[in-house]
A and B are shown apart, each in its own frame.
Chain A
Amino acid sequence: MMKVKRTNGFLWPVIVAIICSFTLMVPVPGFGAGKTIVIGGSLPLTGAYAETGQWIEKGMLFWAAEINAKGGLLGRNVEFKIYDDQSDVSKAVTFAEKVITVDKVDLLFGGYPGTAARAVMPVAEKHKFVYVSMGGHMKSFEQGYTYSFGAPPLMGEWWYEGFFHWLATVPADKRPQRAAVYTINNPVGLSLTDSIERWTKKLNIQIVINEKYNAPLTDATAMIVKAKQSKCDILFANGFFPDGVTTMKAAKALDYNPKIIVQGVGSVVPAWVKELGKDGDYVFSGTSLSGQLKYPGNDKLNAYTKKTYNLNEYPLYFGFGYAWMQTLEQAVKGAKNLDQTKIRDWLKTNEVNTIAGPMTFDKRGLPEPINFGTQIINGKVELISPKRVQTKEPVYPKPAWKK
């Protein structure tokens, strides 16, 4: 019984499997051929980042429909080849290689989240493909890549710039004095702390609590009690949606009323307003895009998302997907062909105009810091800073919770 059984004669399943795997290598017909311009890459359409990935996809497809209706890019129709990387970084890398080397796409599109972008950027560099994406925060743009562009980027380091610019306009005696900073321990969270360190020094705000936590955050009671007891009058919740919601609920339940609550990247997704309702109000954050900007194109996107998804304003990541494609589109038009190096060189020397405004890129592939301070007022993300884009006067200090 205990003798190990021989497994002879079962070689064929392996062979069959290997043969099957070879069938994967046959490029899907229709791509790369003919007159269509194929834009390829991967997005997290299932798994942990599915929500965001799907919005980016919708934004890109909206762009494609629009440009095809206008007669295409360089006179050719565009088409997407989008793989689902299942929110897995290593799959994002493999699919990037697949679209470049097997599907032989003409252009690459940007992925999500930051960790995936960080891993795909070197692939794009090695294959000399222009990669327009949100990037993976400042560190990823300091690696010396020449083909990667953040256009516009989702830059944690810049995220609170707009907010702090506004805070600086508040008279010093009315500003909050003591800050509680809670940061999620991942690349997004860590890059968000950058501007807090710089600005709290400048504005003479004392950081009383400065802690990090690992996701998932199941309970924020202790955090809020600590902040409340330390009499912190400004709360930075540098996190995502789930931990942001947990923190907000605890703050309300424990009747913690700081003058300001600042939340990271969770409060900018449509679900925040939709799911939290009144409880999500008065939260400050930042963005590099907004449907309320006056740059051309924003109205059109808003109208589309209103009609299709019944949203008052296009979701941030829908806008990102669209804006990256706008950048790529202008670069291709500028370079007048699909030569990647020419496209890159054009981007390095020319200005692009997107729904996030005009941009020129430096050696790292980054524009001048773009950021708009936001506050959620009456269930709507309002722009509060800088003055020229302001849609509403910020509500300060935050009204006490209504029980």
Chain B
Amino acid sequence: MDAVLIIQSLISGIMMGMVYALLGVGFSLTWGVMHVINISHGAFGLLGAYMAYSLLQYFGVDPIVSAAVSVPLLFLVACGIYQLLIRPITRAQNVVMASMILTFGLAIILENVMAIIWKADPRVLTPTYSSGALILGPFYFQYPHVVGFGLSLAGITAIYLFLKKTYTGMAVRAAWQQPEAARLYGVNLYWISMITFALAVSTAGAGGICLALLNSFEPHSHNLWLINLFLVVIVGGVGNVIGTALAGLIIGVITGLSMAFLPFLWVNLVTFGLLMIFLIFRPHGIFKQEGI
């Protein structure tokens, strides 16, 4: 086998995997902290992508710059959605299930609202650097991949530092690991949940922008995204930020290697098959859940 092909394939696989990790990290957090499985997570990512698309089309704002507008905007939207929809179901017997049904509905609504606003036509996010590449010797680093990778790395690091270093972040971790004790120490679980949810949705938006740099998207694309982020989250361990990032890398490596070694027809099958086997032997992901 040819070394250039293997390395080239690995590079792009890893960069891709990292983007899925950014998309997945918020999903992982809401699941871990609030027991809310947010099926509409991918749809919010798509919303971020569409906002970036419009800002680029009509105002010529680069997606990286416009993220500074759209991501906080999504944060606010998410606070509202938490108040209106998520909070009422936290008293259900089975929050996981109830949240899945509710957010499934939300995903359908978002998808069709996007279809009305932006139409069903497929879109491609094409900033000036969209099809350029950084050439290092025999290797090509596609700029969208590099930008997506960089943004994802930054996003995940930011979330990690937030959880580790800030008071609010530590409260989020406490709320998740020892909810009762956290309450006794005066942590307001309601606030924590809202912040977690909003943070998750805004990382979804950022992840959506990164993913839109790589592939074209349509209102129904979130279904495809959801599957990938589900896998990243499970492999990494629910609620585990570093785990999610590593899972992105692992999935990237698996995809990259199988793209290089196998007929393309078998790539997806092998990826899912290996993940299945991985889960059977290592059902709780790479790390224990408490790792963060």
Contacts and interface: CB of A to CB of B under 8 A. Distances in A.
Interface of A: 46-48, 50-51, 53-54, 87, 182, 185, 211-214, 216, 218-219, 221-223, 225-226, 229, 241-242, 245-246, 248-250, 252-255, 269-271, 274-277, 279, 401, 403
Contacts of A219: 12-13, 16, 214, 255, 259
A276 B124 CA distance: 7
Contact of A222 (B130, B140, B142, B260): B260
Assign chain B's interface to a size class: 35 or more
A355 to B, nearest CB: 22
Interface in B1-40: 2, 4-5, 8-9, 11-13, 16
B205 interface: no
* 7 interchain residue pairs of minimum CB distance: A50-B120, A222-B259, A275-B124, A213-B264, A253-B142, A221-B12, A252-B131
A31 B44 CA distance: 41
Contacts of A222: 5, 8-9, 12, 256, 259-260, 264
Contacts of A226: 5
B218 to A, nearest CB: 7
A48 B220 CA distance: 6
B215 A229 contact: no
B140 A218 contact: no
Contacts of A87: 220
Given A54-B120, A221-B9, A222-B5, A277 B133 contact: no
Given A87-B220, A222-B9, 11 more contacts: A214-B268, A219-B12, A219-B214, A221-B8, A221-B259, A225-B8, A246-B216, A253-B133, A254-B133, A271-B124, A279-B126
A214 B124 contact: no
Contacts of B264: 182, 211-213, 222-223
B55 to A, nearest CB: 16
Nearest to B263: A211
Nearest to A216: B224
B4 A225 contact: yes
Contact of A51 (B9, B122, B215): B122
B219 interface: yes
Most buried by B among A46, A218, A275: A218
B57 to A, nearest CB: 10
Interface in B208-243: 214-216, 218-220, 224, 228
A246 B216 CA distance: 7
12 contacts: A46-B115, A51-B121, A221-B12, A229-B2, A242-B122, A249-B131, A252-B131, A253-B144, A271-B122, A277-B126, A279-B126, A279-B131
A47 B215 contact: no
A403 B132 contact: yes
Nearest to B256: A222
A193 B220 CA distance: 28
Given A253-B131, A254-B133, A218 B122 contact: no
